[in-house]
Amino acid sequence: MAGSGDVNRCGLVLVAWEDRAGTWADLRRVAREVTALAPQIDARVVGHHRGEQLRLLPLWLRPTLALSLIDKPSAKLLPGRFMVGRRLGKIGEYRRLDAAGMPVPRWTVIEPDTRLDPGEWGPYVVEKPSMGRLGAFVRIRRTGRVRYVPPATLPAGHYGRLGPMLAQTFVYTGEWPTSYRVVTLLGETLVCYRQVTQGRGTALVDRAQFRDSGGMSIVSNTTAMQVELAADPDVMALAERAHRTAFADIPILNLDIVRDAQTGALWILEVHAHGGWPFSSAMGLATQQQNGVNFESQFDGLSKAARVLVTQVPRLAGWRWEAATPRV
């Protein structure tokens, strides 16, 4: 039966979401290693253009798993079950995480009647766009001063024009903003690194001393961040659990996780469910070069991706007409 462990032959299609040579090289290597480890899996790489997918017709005759690690391609002529990243926005991600019981800092949509009690939320909260990226327009606010701003009155290019603004409990990560980025494939860690941004304002010596810190940024993921590989077992375990329980239909996540510097508690800030590939993307390459790190070296990332797929493809592979939701 499709998707069961006794399938003798099945297919794997890795969809190249872009035409960059590095992307194709990575996916082809993963596909070769999958087939070398499990000859019963017919692993192929195909572009996101419809014409290129015509050569996949033989795979329509066997259970297949098609994956796109970025949300760009549609199913088109892809055989089997198709898993692809989705742009859920922070609201969609938080709702999934909350429903799965994952640790997310308390949050709310800022609406015209929103009034937050400092006794419940603390003296400061984070205000950020629900559809933002790269930490843009993320600000710290005095809790009692949070107010709704009509999107049309925001400056051109402000991400608050694309979706509601959110208020969220502030997590103190230390004197300088610090977070972990964990990339998981079908619930298994491929990369885990720590990112810190220093020198924007003065150090924040306590979670409530913003008045003395002169407009300090609270965002760790910036163009000035310092990155180091950091295989923190608790952080990776949380990321993997979140993927398996809340995003089993999404092939790859890039989770941002923070640790409270005073309590040690871990919190998930984002998962970037639309996908992302750290090894050879333009941003990934730039981050590695600027910080003198090699993401693949941490866990032999491409080979680990192949091993994960060897384990998961026979279980997740299906037929195009099946509507089942895969479980990770």
Q: Locate the DSSP E strands across the chain.
A: 10-16, 41-47, 64-68, 81-84, 107-109, 124-129, 139-142, 165-169, 178-185, 188-196, 226-229, 252-259, 266-270
pLDDT digits (tens, 9 = 90+) for 227-285: 999 999 999 999 999 999 999 999 999 999 999 999 999 999 999 999 999 999 999 99
Same domain, residue pair 91 and 206: yes
Cα–Cα–Cα angle for 182, 187, 191, nearest 5°?
30
Cβ atoms of 253 and 183 within 8 Å: the answer is yes
Q: What is the CA angle 94-216-283, rounded to 5?
A: 60
Q: Residue 131 and residue 90: Cα distance in Å, rounded?
A: 6
Write out the residue range of the structural domain in which residue 156 sits.
Answer: 107-170
Torsion over CA: 71, 75, 77, 79 (sign): positive
Mode of pairing for the β-strands spanning 124-129 and 178-185: unpaired
pLDDT tens, position by position, 180-194: 999 999 999 999 999
pLDDT band for position 199 (cuts 50, 70, 90)? low
If one counts the domains in the chain, the total is: 3
Which of 151, 170, 189 corresponds to the end of one domain? Answer: 170
Check whether 295 has a pLDDT greater than 70.
Answer: yes
Residue 163: band (very low, low, confident or very high) from pLDDT cuts 50, 70, 90: confident
Pair 179, 204 in one domain: yes
Residues 124 and 208 in one domain: no
Residue 145 has pLDDT above 50, yes or no: yes
Compute the average pLDDT of residues 320-324: 58
What confidence category does residue 324 fall into, taking pLDDT thresholds of 50, 70 and 90?
very low
Q: What is the pLDDT of residue 100?
A: 98
pLDDT for 4: 42
Asked if residue 1 is part of any domain, the answer here is no
Mark whether 69 and 112 lie in a shared domain.
no
Is residue 212 in a domain? yes
Q: pLDDT tens digits, residue range 1-49?
A: 344 444 479 999 999 999 999 999 999 999 999 999 999 999 999 998 8
Average of per-residue pLDDT values in the chain: 89
pLDDT at 14: 97
pLDDT computed for residue 1 by the predictor: 39
Residue 327 clears pLDDT 50, i.e. is over it = no
Residue 266 lies in a domain: yes
202-227 mean pLDDT: 70
68 and 163 co-located in one domain: no
Residues 189 and 130 in one domain: no
Quick one: 180 and 45 in the same domain? Answer: no
The residue among 116, 140, 170 that closes a domain is: 170
For residue 17, give the CATH number of its domain. 3.40.50
Chain-centroid distance of CA 66 in Å reads 19
Boundary residue ending a domain (134, 154, 170): 170
Do the domain assignments include residue 15?
Answer: yes
